[in-house]
Chain A
Amino acid sequence: MVRKIERDQNRFKQIVRGKIKGDLRKYITHGEMIGKTGGELVSIPLPQIQIPEFRYGSKNSGGVGQGPGDVGTPIGRAGEGDSPGSAGDSPGQHILEVELTLDELAEILGEGLELPRIEPKGRANIIEEKDKYTGIRQAGPESLRHFKRTYKKALKRQIASNTYNPADPMVIPVREDKLYRSWNPVFLPHSNAVVLYLMDVSGSMTDDQKEIVRIEAFWIDTWLKSQYDGVTTRYIIHDAVAREVDQHTFYHTRESGGTRISSAYNLANKIIEADHPVADWNIYVLHFSDGDNWGEDNRQCVAMLRDQLLPKCNLFGYGQVESPYGSGEFYRELEEAFEHVPNLALSEIRNKDGIYESIKEFLGRGR
């Protein structure tokens, strides 16, 4: 039976979910909540919900017009006030923050953006060994003693040896009666995914553009982690050369070299071939750039995508983040080279408001 407090709590959760879903675009666009991610929980500010509180009635509290002055005396004329007041010492009105798990957030994202669930590629990819307490042994630590079975066995022994007295039903297990839980290895199918984030950090990419990438990557990560048992994330930055870095470096590096996107595609391909065999992994490659690629590199990128990366990936997403100088030509090159390729998603992100549609473009294919 559901207790009233649980019913109320569920209702509150429904209200919170509704609020977040209603304002999902705003939450996606603003990146401040990403900083509030602590482990598996995310704090989300909800200024619109009023917390229930006691309010005193007006009984015995007097009426109106109790201040000094006669009837008709004007109040609050401009310029007649006191000097500016000092800072207050009482607490201000706080914004309510609710904590959601990343899975709950992913669920809201999925519902809000109407994202299809991802069908992992092929059969279950990796067989994972897990221990489950499904067996019984005659030896083991006392902490694992199976109380019920031990006493049943003792009872059987006492009945068989005629030492059991129903009038005085006392069952005393001896050493031979004791049974202990034991574990057996169970092999579970396990779908794994690797997400490679590629970002152009050349001189033309500004901090604002990187912030957009950071926000978008957070939401894509949240969704993919809700769809797979294990998600491995790897980061590659590039200007004219590419290198693998950790998450912090990924978001905070600015180089001043030229832009050669093929260097990043080449490294991504090497990483996949070395560490993430296509048969075992669901592979996602998401690349963000302002599209200002140098020289003849576009042709190399198209060839590399067609021959190397696309055949290996569940999804290859390219997000072109607009810079103050507009959007580069790389997006058009890909658009012209690849028509209706199911595992290639292209998205032009003009500003933070474009993140919402871009996520939908990347994840809306259910791949």
Chain B
Amino acid sequence: MNLSRKIADAVETLPPGGPLPCPVEAEAAGARLSVHLTAQGPVGIAFDGLDYAAAGRRDLSADELRKWGDRLAARLTYLMEPLVVLEVDALAGEAALRSQAPTPRGDLRSFYEVRLRREGSLHLQRIAFDEAARRRQAVPCRMTIEVLERLADDLVASLD
């Protein structure tokens, strides 16, 4: 069973009305995916962070990090906003992707942020900037289980 199917199974087999938030993890072929689930329903889920790590990889150079970011941005076209590679920090071995343009909703401006690390791991979260409070805060990413499956497939494929 591949990673996408495993994470979908892990989410679907959670007991209804179980304690939330809770971490849900899946591992396949040396890659590990975990989401910190905050809500679960028949249609989809909400999580406040997604981590992916491909084990046993050599460290990526800054150029390779950028290329990985570009491949991810090209694949993840079904999230709410298209992603772009914003910054690549060669010293720290990190790259940051964000939504090309945040989505405004009332006083909030929300966008995705993906941080890639040279060892082949990433963290995805959704952030909202509150105009009134003048602060950023992490907000839940909402998606159907099918989208989560596709996301898992694309994360694996983007590093191949």
Contacts and interface: CB of A to CB of B under 8 A. Distances in A.
B92 A258 contact: yes
Contacts of A240: 89-92
Contacts of B129: 325-327
B8 interface: no
Contact of A203 (B86, B101, B136): B86
Nearest to B111: A325
A329 B109 CA distance: 16
A327 B98 CA distance: 14
A interface secondary structure, majority: loop
Contacts of A327: 129, 134, 136
Interface in B68-105: 85-92, 94, 96, 98, 101-102
A239 B98 CA distance: 17
A325 B90 contact: no
B94 to A, nearest CB: 6
A325 B92 contact: no
A256 interface: yes
A326 B98 CA distance: 12
Interface residues of B, number: 22
B87 A204 contact: yes
Contact of A258 (B87, B98, B131): B87
B90 A257 contact: yes
B135 to A, nearest CB: 8
Interface residues on A, range: 20 to 34
Nearest to A255: B87
B91 A326 contact: no
Contact of A324 (B89, B90, B102, B134): B102
A259 B87 contact: yes
A324 B88 contact: no
A294 B90 CA distance: 12
B101 A324 contact: yes
Given A240-B91, A324-B102, A325-B102, A204 B86 contact: yes
A326 B136 contact: yes
A216 interface: no
A283 B102 CA distance: 39
B102 A256 contact: no
Contact of A295 (B92, B109, B111, B136): B92
Contacts of A325: 98, 102, 109, 111, 127, 129, 136
Contacts of A294: 87, 89, 92, 94
Interface in A301-354: 324-329, 332, 348
* Residue among B102, B109, B131, B136 having the largest count of chain A Cβ atoms under 10 Å: B136
Contact of A326 (B87, B88, B94, B109): B109
Interface of A: 202-204, 239-241, 256-260, 294-295, 324-329, 332, 348
5 contacts: A240-B92, A256-B87, A258-B89, A258-B92, A259-B89
Interface of B: 85-92, 94, 96, 98, 101-102, 109, 111, 127, 129-131, 134-136
Given A327-B134, A329-B136, A348-B134, 8 more contacts: A203-B88, A204-B86, A204-B87, A294-B92, A325-B102, A325-B129, A326-B130, A328-B136
